[in-house]
Amino acid sequence: MRERLVIPPELAHLSPGAIAKALGYSRTAILQARRREAGLCISCAGRDPDQGGYCASCRRSIRKSQARRARKKNGFRKWKPGSRGRPPKAAK
Ligand SMILES: [Zn+2]
């Protein structure tokens, strides 16, 4: 994994595109580094990001899309009452 990008202060006043060109990073990486430094969610610039840099609502939507991808790939079906296996710990 690449190390986390920290924007050098002498480049901080430039636009994301100009910094991206100067450092060889993507514009997305520059924007995310800026938001991380400012203590904001790296996706939506919302408040209270977690360790990974995303806020609670972005984290939720990421988990959702990851679950959808996993279901598509592995054919996973959500547990239902009366089906085989252990019910999930948070069964409703
Ligand atoms: Zn967010």
Rg of the chain (C-alpha set) = 19
7 alpha carbon – ligand 1 mean position (Å): 21
53 CA from centroid of ligand 1 (Å): 8
pTM over 0.75: no
List per-residue pLDDT tens for the chain, 92 residues long: 567 788 888 888 888 889 888 889 999 999 999 999 999 999 999 999 998 899 999 999 999 999 889 888 878 778 889 988 888 887 55
**What is the whole-number distance in angstroms between the Cα of residue 39 and the centre of ligand 1?**
11
Closest by Cα among 72, 75, 45 to 58: 45
- Name the 3-class secondary structure at 82: coil
Alpha carbon distances (Å) from 43 to 49, 55, 56, 75:
10, 8, 11, 29
